[in-house]
Structure 1
Amino acid sequence: MTQYFSNKVIIITGAGSGMGRAYALAFAKLGTKLGLNDFNLAGLDETIQLIKDQTPSCHMVSQAFDVSDQNKMQTFANLCQQKLGNAFVVINNAGVEGAHMPAWQMDLSNYEHVMKINFFGVVSGTRAFLPQLLSEHTGHIVNVSSIFGLAGTPNHSDYCASKFAVRGYSEALMCELQNSGVQVHLLHPGGIDTNIAKSTGGQAFSKHYLKTSPEEITEYLIKHIEKGSTRIVYGNDSMKIWLGSKFVPLKILNKLIWSDMKKVIDQKPYNLIKLKKGMFK
């Protein structure tokens, strides 16, 4: 077992389920102190109980709130610092699914909601905890994008926009912090078997693509944080998308992605497509 994280403070947002819960359980076993967040209090409490059952000695602080609320995030950061000490790893993991429909059917509110959590939640977490990392001249920020932050996909323009935004923000942050001692890691999960796809439109997608366990990507992430990897790509179909985004011409890549994903997409909006003035709400 690695001693790199022993007695260090690990902050995880979206820890109430899925990857966030798997990260929390794994880091607890490494002898860390945990600051945990989730919007869902019941899910967060369940994660805390699991940690208590498996690692009774783990020292934890937790709060349930919306990660896009900068004031609440700053309050959380202050509490974690007071109770646990300065953060060593910050994993901005909290996220929500998109609306699972073509761009011309989406309301502007769909984009606003997804960007608020998936992108501004990352910005909020980074801004609140970065001063702690900089004061120690060491540490790690892990910002969770997606393979949908590497390539655009049909029925996911809202989600892709948020994950591309996380990618751009994180890559800029890497440049800015390269001489600070603080490392930025950009995680692009592939199809991870979590409960993120709650809507009816996401069920076919979830069943077909979300196959890698949260525990598997957690093990991979922990290893690559310690190694200092900047871009971390892992999970079902992740390598295929990453290589395609790097080496396949975009026009061809679009056709390949459509061919692969059309089987899990409602075709009716595409059969009736009529791009004309006023179709965007």
Structure 2
Amino acid sequence: IMQDFTGKTVVITGAGSGMGRAYAKAFAALGCKVALCDVDREALAETQRLIRADHCLFMHVDVADANEVLEFSQRVEAELGPAHIVINNAGIEGSAQPSWKTSLDTYRRVMEVNYFGVVHGTRAFLAQLQSHDESWLVNVSSIFGLIGTPNHTDYCGSKFAVRGYTEALMCELKGSPVNVLLAHPGGIATNIARHDFNQRFAQHYLTTSPEAFVEALIAAIRKKRHRLVFGAGSRKSALAARLLPLGILSSVIWREMKNIIDTRHYPNK
């Protein structure tokens, strides 16, 4: 069981801010070699200024582009050695509008980053992970990969996809050196809610610090757990998803969220 992280190569996507930056700082402090990427060059440069580690790799990568992720993986292996831990963390917010107001382009972009980014990261690094006696693949879904919420059909769709992909992958990798951890963060206080129309939601729900989530994730790896549900509202949501009939669950979710989402496009509500 992986207890000592010293010298391990840890790959983190979306490392320019939020949980990605918190992962980077935590694993660097544990003596790891860290390979960090982000699509935002300025944000990644700020992370680079904050990281104190002997062996680091920073690269501008759009995880929606399979070729860029593959190039990143090749540089990681050449410069830091094969990855021991890969955290497919990169993600973007959705439209925060009802499905009938969300463009197909938005659906595609959210899916390309949030879902295909995970697929690309997994495929690019899997051979490296399999080269060790023990390794970890961490795919980040969301509590919105456990419950469906209004104004988030694009985001929920992508995070449910990550969940399904990862649970199936977990079956496929049983008996291999690769341990798979499926993460469902609750309301983590990051800047993922960048748009004005998401601010009321963010202020109400995104209250758990990224550092607290990262601490829980490192503990989950040490305990060899395969699912992590952690953060504001996460346990309540997971329990409701497991126990409530879907019709009742959707009514409960609407009552919970109707006062903190944009309801202008719901004339019958």
TM-score (norm 1): 0.93
Instruction: Find out whether 1:129 has 2:130 as its counterpart.
Output: no
Equivalent AA in structure 2 for residue 235 of structure 1 = G
Equivalent AA in structure 2 for residue 164 of structure 1 = F
Equivalent AA in structure 2 for residue 155 of structure 1 = N
Distance in 1 between residues matched to 2:72 and 2:103, nearest whole Å: 32
Task: Pick one of 153, 178, 190 that aligns with 2:174.
Answer: 178
**How big is the shift at 1:201?**
1.4
Instruction: Find out whether 1:12 has 2:12 as its counterpart.
Output: yes
Distance in 2 between residues matched to 1:107 and 1:40, nearest whole Å: 24
Distance in 1 between residues matched to 2:69 and 2:7, nearest whole Å: 23
Look up the match of 1:27. Answer: 27
Task: Pick one of 121, 144, 151 that aligns with 1:148.
Answer: 144
Q: Larger deviation: 131-140 or 179-188? A: 131-140
**How big is the shift at 1:137?**
4.0
Look up the match of 1:271. Answer: 267
Look up the match of 2:83. Answer: 87
Look up the match of 2:62. Answer: 66
Distance in 1 between residues matched to 2:56 and 2:20, nearest whole Å: 15
Distance in 2 between residues matched to 1:266 and 1:131, nearest whole Å: 44
Distance in 2 between residues matched to 1:97 and 1:58, nearest whole Å: 33
Secondary structure of the structure 2 residue equivalent to 1:263: coil
Alpha-carbon distance change, 59 to 19 in structure 1, aligned in 2, over 3 angstroms? same
Task: Pick one of 215, 218, 224 that aligns with 1:222.
Answer: 218
Distance in 2 between residues matched to 1:19 and 1:67, nearest whole Å: 16
Distance in 2 between residues matched to 1:239 and 1:28, nearest whole Å: 29
Secondary structure of the structure 2 residue equivalent to 1:178: coil
**How big is the shift at 1:183?**
0.5
Instruction: Find out whether 1:247 has 2:243 as its counterpart.
Output: yes
The number of equivalent residue pairs is 268
Look up the match of 2:190. Answer: 194
The unaligned stretches of length 5 or more in structure 2 are: none
Distance in 2 between residues matched to 1:77 and 1:227, nearest whole Å: 27
**How big is the shift at 1:65?**
1.6
Does the 8 Å contact 1:3/1:30 carry over to 2? Answer: no
Distance in 1 between residues matched to 2:169 and 2:133, nearest whole Å: 15
Distance in 2 between residues matched to 1:69 and 1:105, nearest whole Å: 27
Distance in 2 between residues matched to 1:190 and 1:133, nearest whole Å: 27
The alignment-based identity, stated in percent, is 53
Does the 8 Å contact 1:93/1:144 carry over to 2? Answer: yes
Instruction: Find out whether 1:238 has 2:237 as its counterpart.
Output: no
Does the 8 Å contact 1:34/1:58 carry over to 2? Answer: no
Larger Rg: 1
**How big is the shift at 1:58?**
2.7
Distance in 1 between residues matched to 2:221 and 2:69, nearest whole Å: 23
Look up the match of 2:93. Answer: 97
Task: Pick one of 105, 113, 116 that aligns with 2:112.
Answer: 116
**How big is the shift at 1:182?**
0.5
1:40-84 CA-partner distances (Å, limit 9, x unpaired): 011111111101xxx3x4310111120011111111101000110
Does the 8 Å contact 1:39/1:65 carry over to 2? Answer: yes
CA RMSD of aligned residues (A): 1.2
Does the 8 Å contact 1:110/1:158 carry over to 2? Answer: yes
Secondary structure of the structure 1 residue equivalent to 2:265: helix
Does the 8 Å contact 2:19/2:211 carry over to 1? Answer: yes
Distance in 1 between residues matched to 2:226 and 2:3, nearest whole Å: 21
**How big is the shift at 1:267?**
2.0
Distance in 1 between residues matched to 2:80 and 2:55, nearest whole Å: 8
Does the 8 Å contact 1:99/1:158 carry over to 2? Answer: yes
The unaligned stretches of length 5 or more in structure 1 are: 274-281
TM-score (norm 2): 0.97
Secondary structure of the structure 2 residue equivalent to 1:83: helix
1:7-49 CA-partner distances (Å, limit 9, x unpaired): 0000000000000000000000000000000000111111111
